[in-house]
Amino acid sequence: MIQQFKSKVVSNKQLTEDVKLITFTCPDDFTFQPGQFASIILEKDGETKLRPYSILNPPTEKGQLEIVFKLVPEGLCTPILFEANEGDEFDLKGPMGRFLLDEKSENKGHWFIANGTGVAPFYSMLKTFLSKYPMKEFGLIFGVRHVKSLFLHENFIALDKEFDNFTYIPTCSRENWEGSMGRVQEHLPDDLSNKCFYICGLKEMVEDTRKLLDDKGVDKSNVHFERYS
């Protein structure tokens, strides 16, 4: 059920130079499915504006709602979020969205492909489904430009260590480091059969990856996506 509620900032943590993680309060009966988003409601020049943000935490964490967001300096919402302090109040609405794990799929694997803050819905999904589906394989390809832009990296490494059914592939497109390099599309598994793919982030990456999967013969029914722009 979609709810609209007043929410307070519990904390606003800097993760990288331009990415922060805000924890908001939410009603105890607020429920959602991993992959869904909530919208922040703002007023500008007498008009109501909504900005959607994927919910980062798993639904089992009641009474709180976390988002990660990237500062868009000329934007409407993110400069306000970036400066938000503990106790500040926002109007929120949610949950919404159909970017969900295909739990009915008989495919063996679920592969998540993200750039930047597009990784958020996958964190919620992994925290929920890795233990629920131990016989399924999960993969996360997380692309950023520079190593310093990787966030939640330690959390994903910890999940990779804890769960044999999870492979974490962070990749940097503009920096040499000890990990993978290049764009996310370059790190897709060799065998694309028997897998569902979920792509989330900026439009160009989402469209390029969808096209690549299509060119390689992956059926559209196995490709799910959420575009942030």
Ligand X SMILES: Cc1cc2nc3c(=O)[nH]c(=O)nc-3n(C[C@H](O)[C@H](O)[C@H](O)COP(=O)(O)OP(=O)(O)OC[C@H]3O[C@@H](n4cnc5c(N)ncnc54)[C@H](O)[C@@H]3O)c2cc1C
**Interacting residue ranges for ligand X, rule: CB under 6 A:** 37, 51-54, 67-70, 72, 74-78, 97, 117, 120, 226, 228-229
Least distance to ligand X, CB of residue 83, Å:
12
Does an H or E element contain 89, and which?
strand 89-96
- Closer to ligand X by CB, 169 or 226: give it: 226
Find where tokens 């990779």 sit: 160
- Closer to ligand X by CB, 176 or 229: give it: 229
Least distance to ligand X, CB of residue 52, Å:
4
- Closer to ligand X by CB, 59 or 75: give it: 75
- Which are the contacts of 11, defined by CB distance < 8 A and separation ≥ 6? 22, 23, 86
Q: How far is CA 176 from the centre of its chain?
A: 25
- Closer to ligand X by CB, 35 or 170: give it: 35
Question: Maximum Cα–Cα distance for the chain, whole Å?
Answer: 52
Least distance to ligand X, CB of residue 161, Å:
25
Measured at CB, which residue is nearest to ligand X?
Answer: 75
Amino acid at 181: M
d(CA 39, CA 191) in angstroms, rounded, equals 37
